[in-house]
Amino acid sequence: MPGLIERYRDRLPFAPGDPVVSLQEGSTPLVPAPQLSERVGAQVWLKVEGANPTGSFKDRGMTCAVSAAVREGATAVICASTGNTAASAAAYAARAQITGAVIVPEGKIATGKLAQALMHGARVIALRGNFDQALELVRELSANHPIALVNSVNPFRLEGQKTASFEILDEIGPIDALCIPVGNAGNITAYWKGFQEMGSAPRMHGFQAAGAAPLVSGQRVEHPETVASAIRIGNPARWEEAMTAMRDSRGGVEAVSDAQILDAYRFLAAREGVFCEPASAASVAGLLVHGAPEGARRIVCVLTGHGLKDPQVALEQSGSVVPCEPDIAAVERAVLG
């Protein structure tokens, strides 16, 4: 499949002949979830965004943000990140042969994401602070220096990410509800934009981790905490737009506890065969805890990132290995016993 810009150019702000920085992102699987469907009494699909080139939905926004930056002559891009945006920005910067710099909260990003950002050659800055502080600082920095900001405050990010809605509609037609994790609130804003552009209006149900749920409480969270490090955010940049999307679509925003997130995380891996990262499982946790929205028969849960991003949480949440001596009797006991 070609990348997003090529595939949806008629609905994106790119003209033929504009530079395109792509890793053939998008066109991700929309996997039916029979076990989940049975549990909630509705037809549920999983939009597996971990199948993007760097393992998260961020690649949809990044192909557009970095292509636009190159078109404008930028030679460097920067972002604040809980990890996935950093990995994606680093990869697309490498692809474009420009400099990438990422600011992440020290000690609070999953191992896989850190490895990606470093491998792609970005300058990785570990901030002794949280994501919200990092975002404030990169906004200031990019205002004073010729460095393109590729966080989702950049409108090109939303343009790219809205294409996930196009793919859902192209593949299964209209749905009744979308369940999606919410951190900085760019993705839910982008999905709603995409649906609206196609004349569609499923209910948008956003889910935040209970320890980082400013949209639920209506108040900034000074010290957000959650096992779902990707959505450890206390002051979302797209706060107003996300609230508008949820209100206009007659959806809503709810909190799910870390325990509920981890239950859904293990359930998806063990029962549906789909391994996502903890933050992604917030969408399914929300559906399981709060039930299918009334009257909703066709529901899509967005699984935003791949489970391999965060091997540490996976190992903490899974069973142990079975040690075994190299002889047949021991192997028989180990396998069958």
Positions that interact with ligand F0G (CB under 6 A): 56, 58, 81-85, 152, 181-187, 230-231, 277, 279-280, 304-305
The residue with tokens 């760097």 is: 54
The C-alpha atoms of residue 253 and residue 293 are separated, in whole angstroms, by 12
Q: Which is nearer to ligand F0G, 43 or 209 (CB)?
A: 209
Give 161-197 as a DSSP string: HTHHHHHHHHHH---SEEEEE-SSSHHHHHHHHHHHH
Residue 204: φ, ψ to 5°: -95, 115
Question: 43: which strand partners?
Answer: 298
Q: Which is nearer to ligand F0G, 44 or 153 (CB)?
A: 153
Q: Which is nearer to ligand F0G, 43 or 135 (CB)?
A: 135
The C-alpha atoms of residue 177 and residue 185 are separated, in whole angstroms, by 17
In the bound complex, what is the minimum distance in angstroms from residue 157's beta carbon to ligand F0G?
Answer: 9
Amino acid at 291: G
Provide the token pair at 112: 């896989």
Helices and strands (H and E) in the chain: how many = 15, 10
In the bound complex, what is the minimum distance in angstroms from residue 332's beta carbon to ligand F0G?
Answer: 41
* Best CA proximity match to 191, nearest among 231, 145, 244, 234: 244
Q: Indicate the length of the chain as a whole number.
A: 337
Radius of gyration over every alpha carbon of the chain, rounded to an integer in angstroms: 20
Q: Which is nearer to ligand F0G, 86 or 299 (CB)?
A: 86
In the bound complex, what is the minimum distance in angstroms from residue 232's beta carbon to ligand F0G?
Answer: 9
The C-alpha atoms of residue 9 and residue 142 are separated, in whole angstroms, by 28
Q: Which is nearer to ligand F0G, 43 or 164 (CB)?
A: 164
In the bound complex, what is the minimum distance in angstroms from residue 175's beta carbon to ligand F0G?
Answer: 19
Give 40-81 as a DSSP string: HTSEEEEEEGGGSTTSBTHHHHHHHHHHHHHHTT-SEEEEE-
Give 297-323 as a DSSP string: -EEEEEE-BBGGG-HHHHHHHSPPP--
**Is the alpha carbon torsion for 283, 287, 289, 290 positive or negative?**
positive
Q: Which is nearer to ligand F0G, 43 or 46 (CB)?
A: 46
In the bound complex, what is the minimum distance in angstroms from residue 330's beta carbon to ligand F0G?
Answer: 41
In the bound complex, what is the minimum distance in angstroms from residue 320's beta carbon to ligand F0G?
Answer: 26
First to last CA, the chain: 46
In the bound complex, what is the minimum distance in angstroms from residue 333's beta carbon to ligand F0G?
Answer: 40
Q: Which is nearer to ligand F0G, 23 or 71 (CB)?
A: 23
In the bound complex, what is the minimum distance in angstroms from residue 228's beta carbon to ligand F0G?
Answer: 8
In the bound complex, what is the minimum distance in angstroms from residue 230's beta carbon to ligand F0G?
Answer: 3
Q: Which is nearer to ligand F0G, 43 or 230 (CB)?
A: 230
Q: Which is nearer to ligand F0G, 95 or 113 (CB)?
A: 113
